[in-house]
Every structure is written in C-alpha cells, then in structure tokens.
Amino acid sequence: MNYNQTEKIILYLINKLGDKIEGKKKVMKLMFLVEHYDVNLKKLIRNGLLGNNFLIYYYGVFSLSIMNCVSGLIQKGIIEEGFPLKSTEKIEIEQKDKEKVDKIIQEFGEKTGYELEVETLKMIDIEPSDKEKFFGRPIRNLIKG
C-alpha cells in the first residue's frame, strides 16, 4: 500500500513504541513534536517538517490532518483501534526522518498523552488552565523565534 510521509511516521511511531503508544492523544502530541520540535536545539520551530497545521484545541495541540490520517488508517484496518493502538504493518521511513523521530521517542516516548499535552502547551508558553483563551489559534502564530 502507498502511504504519504505523515502516515508512514504515524505507523512508525505506533510500531516503535508498542504498548507505550497508548491512544490517539499521544500520537497527536508526538506528531506535533515531529512537526515542530528541533531535537538538536531542544526547542520548537515554526516551520514544520511535514506541513501539517496544528492549533490549540480541547486537549492541547491538535491537527485535523493528523486526525484524518489516523482515522483513515483505522478505517482501512491498518491501525487497530484500542488501548494501545496497534499497527498491522511495519513501515520504514527515510533515514533523516527516522533519526528525528527516534530522538523524539527517546526524549518523550515514556510520557503519557496527558503529560505530553501539558508539556507541549508549556513549550508554547500556555498554561493548561489557560488553553481556552487560545482555542482555535494556529500554533505557528504562537511559537516564538
């Protein structure tokens, strides 16, 4: 089957993290980090790796395109919905992407979806209790630097 780059990275994350992937919330936060976290500078950058747009939503950073990818992979039976999510296919990704994703997994993979929600909000200087004030705002406008 042919997958786009975002789908490949989602599947790679699910396979690599196994039981630690939890559910969609953790996938979403990790994909945000793949998109906007510079693993060498240890900070967020505006220009994303994959071109997925994120905004502030009910559970922190959220991308409709990422959610559509996950939902599509579930509908096709490639991701088995549950807790944890499971993939029926092993996927390889490009070496440059693999290096970044592996570093993100190493740094953030042990955290829960909720811990990642809090941490990613704080990276953009939003306290979780204040996220409603930023509801619907594009992340690119909130990342400093």
Say how many residues make up the chain: 145
How many other CB atoms are there within 10 angstroms of residue 1's CB atom? 8
* Separation between Cα atoms, residue 105 and residue 8, nearest integer Å: 15
Q: What is the pTM of this model?
A: 0.97
Token output for 133: 């004030």
**Predicted confidence pLDDT, tens digits, the chain (145 residues):** 899 999 999 999 999 999 999 999 999 999 999 999 999 999 999 989 999 999 999 999 999 999 999 999 999 999 999 999 999 999 999 999 999 999 999 999 999 999 999 999 999 999 999 999 999 999 999 998 6
Q: Which two tokens stand for residue 138?
A: 């594009």
pLDDT at 1: 81
Radius of gyration from C-alpha coordinates of the chain: 14
How many other CB atoms are found less than 10 A from the CB of residue 115?
Answer: 13
Q: What is the pLDDT of residue 145?
A: 66
Q: CA 87, 92, 97 angle in degrees (round to 5)?
A: 110
pLDDT at residue 37, as a whole number:
97
Interatomic CA distance for residues 69 and 27, integer angstroms: 11
